[in-house]
């Protein structure tokens, strides 16, 4: 799990976050640590612009110690002396974000190097993350750091929002760097920002032979300063639910895996990827999850604006199509509140539409309106040719929510409905 501890910063580096809430409150931090402590891998990554600048750093570390959670801090290497002392006293593990030298002042660069020297001599575990903010820039400077210091690992980080056709120069440098450090103890790895289609055949073949794995886009969970969860920094713009809604990390992972399954195979937003050989080989799922999410949100805004600006020129069918398109985006991205607004309008216009009731049932349930959700599932069953689909979904959710008694009663209803359908089908065959 990743916690975006603070938006505070010491210097202006690329890809810094901007967020209304500056520091994560301690109650949110401790709630997240409780969830992490129950997982199979009790490790947490503290992120944010400069994680060591959080005002309650000492309390956070005590919370980790009390719960047996291993803290890892992401840093640019600029930190107050108090944080530096804590790192040395507790041997805190770090991910060291290394930017191009042009982004450091002379004083900051000197401080960063001094801190790195101190931690390396103390035997601290440090992973290097080479921050590739401009794929066309020169990154030869990283060799000095890789030759001078013993890093636990080296990651070549490229934002997954970078268009794949713009990564060629950076990919060329990365391949050469990998060749040069092939026989050394630590060689660079790729982040999830580069997919196979950004590589030439020769690059892909060499990296495959050398055992280098590209960074597949898979869910890893983050918590924003206000307590809302997100998939990652690039997808922090999605209004995820609050951390308090989840009891365990498994529940939280399931929520994001559900969103990911939909996003991975949504090819409407990247038709050019349908012909890519990486798709059938399961090496890639089209554009990155973040790119797809951003594109879908842009489409949603266009649909919404078109509805707001129309003055009677759209037919009823066109209006319904727009509402359904907006609903589709919201359901995929788990924007259930916005989906409810669209679906309630569809239901008002077409109260006998079973799909409107079914998806409203899902949205109500996901937003905590369980009784309203059950009503919609039952309405869907009444107006559907096959009531078992809606009743089955309601049954699954009752079981998942721990309502076993009501689930058993509903199971009896489902069996009766199944018997009625069978008798109706048998009767129709007899007449035929």
Q: Which two tokens stand for residue 129?
A: 């993350």
Q: Where are the domains of the chain?
A: 2-264, 289-431
CA–CA separation, 273 and 275 (whole Å): 5
pLDDT digits (tens, 9 = 90+) for 23-38: 999 999 999 999 999 8
Strands, sheet with 188-190, edge to edge from the N-terminal-most edge strand: 188-190, 153-158, 126-132, 93-98, 70-75, 43-48, 2-6, 222-223, 229-230
pLDDT band for position 311 (cuts 50, 70, 90): confident
CATH T-level topology, domain 289-431: 1.25.40
Q: Is the pLDDT of residue 2 over 60?
A: yes
Tell me what the mean pLDDT of segment 66-75 comes to. 95
Cβ within 8 Å of residue 59, ≥6 positions away: 26
The pLDDT value given to residue 221: 83
Identify the three-state secondary structure at position 221: coil
CB atoms within 10 A of CB 170: 22
For the ranges 197-201, 284-288, 322-326, the one whose mean pLDDT is highest: 322-326
pLDDT digits (tens, 9 = 90+) for 346-359: 999 999 999 999 99
Q: Is the pLDDT of residue 187 over 60?
A: yes
Write the DSSP assignment of 347-370 as a string of letters: HHH-TT-HHHHHHHHHHHHHTT-H
DSSP, res 69:
P
Tell me what the mean pLDDT of segment 393-422 comes to. 91
Q: Is the pLDDT of residue 132 over 90?
A: yes
CB atoms within 10 A of CB 202: 9
pLDDT digits (tens, 9 = 90+) for 104-118: 999 999 999 999 999
pTM metric for this prediction: 0.82
CA–CA separation, 303 and 298 (whole Å): 9
- Higher-pLDDT residue of 47, 262: 47
CA–CA separation, 119 and 96 (whole Å): 11
Q: pLDDT averaged over the chain? A: 89
Tell me what the mean pLDDT of segment 266-274 comes to. 78
pLDDT digits (tens, 9 = 90+) for 197-236: 888 889 988 988 888 766 667 667 889 999 999 888 888 8
| Range name among 54-58, 103-107, 214-218, 297-301 with the lowest pLDDT average | 214-218
The pLDDT value given to residue 165: 85
pLDDT band for position 344 (cuts 50, 70, 90): very high
Cβ within 8 Å of residue 357, ≥6 positions away: 347, 376, 377, 379, 380, 383, 390
Query: Looking at the domain that runs over 2-264, which CATH code has it been given?
Result: 3.20.20.70
Q: Is the pLDDT of residue 432 over 60?
A: no
CA–CA separation, 426 and 432 (whole Å): 10
Contact predicate 4/17, CB 8 Å: yes
The pLDDT value given to residue 61: 96
The pLDDT value given to residue 143: 95
């Amino acid at each position: 799990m990743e916690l975006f501890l603070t938006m505070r910063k010491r210097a202006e580096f690329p890809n810094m976050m901007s967020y209304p809430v500056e520091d994560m409150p301690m109650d949110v931090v401790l709630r997240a640590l409780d969830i992490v402590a129950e997982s199979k891998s009790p490790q947490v990554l503290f992120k944010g612009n400069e994680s060591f600048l959080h005002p309650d750093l000492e309390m956070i570390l005590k919370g980790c110690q009390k719960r047996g959670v291993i803290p890892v801090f992401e840093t640019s290497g600029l930190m107050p002396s108090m944080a530096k002392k804590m790192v040395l006293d507790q041997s805190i593990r770090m991910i060291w974000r290394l930017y191009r030298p042009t982004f450091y002042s002379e004083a900051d660069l000197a401080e960063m190097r001094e801190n790195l020297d101190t931690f390396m001599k103390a035997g601290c575990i440090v992973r290097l993350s080479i921050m590739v903010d401009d794929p066309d820039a020169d990154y030869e400077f990283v060799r000095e750091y890789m030759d001078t210091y013993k890093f636990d690992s080296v990651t070549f980080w490229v934002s997954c929002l970078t268009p794949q056709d713009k990564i060629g120069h950076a990919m060329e440098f990365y391949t050469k760097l990998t060749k040069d450090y092939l026989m050394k103890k630590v060689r660079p790895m790729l982040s999830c920002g580069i997919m196979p289609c950004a590589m030439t055949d020769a690059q892909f073949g060499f990296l495959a032979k050398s055992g280098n794995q590209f960074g597949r886009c898979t869910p890893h969970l983050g918590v924003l300063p206000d307590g809302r969860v997100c998939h990652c920094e690039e997808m922090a713009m999605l209004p995820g639910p609050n951390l308090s809604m989840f009891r365990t990390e498994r529940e939280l992972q399931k929520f994001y895996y559900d969103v990911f399954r939909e996003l991975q195979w949504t090819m409407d937003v990247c038709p050019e990827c349908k012909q890519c050989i990486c798709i059938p080989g399961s090496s890639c799922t089209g554009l990155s999850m973040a790119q797809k999410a951003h594109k879908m949100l842009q489409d949603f805004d266009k649909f919404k604006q078109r509805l707001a600006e129309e003055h009677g020129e759209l037919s009823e069918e066109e209006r319904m199509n727009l509402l359904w398109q907006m609903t589709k985006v919201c359901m995929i991205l788990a924007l259930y509140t916005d989906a409810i607004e669209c679906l309630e309008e569809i239901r008002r216009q077409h109260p006998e539409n079973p799909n409107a009731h079914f998806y409203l049932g899902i949205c109500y349930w996901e937003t905590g309106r369980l009784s309203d959700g059950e009503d919609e599932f039952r309405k869907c069953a009444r107006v559907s040719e096959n009531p078992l689909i809606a009743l089955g979904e309601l049954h699954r959710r009752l079981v998942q929510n721990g309502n076993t008694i009501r689930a058993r009663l509903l199971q009896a209803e489902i069996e009766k409905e199944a018997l009625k359908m069978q008798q109706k089908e048998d009767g129709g065959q007899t007449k035929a």
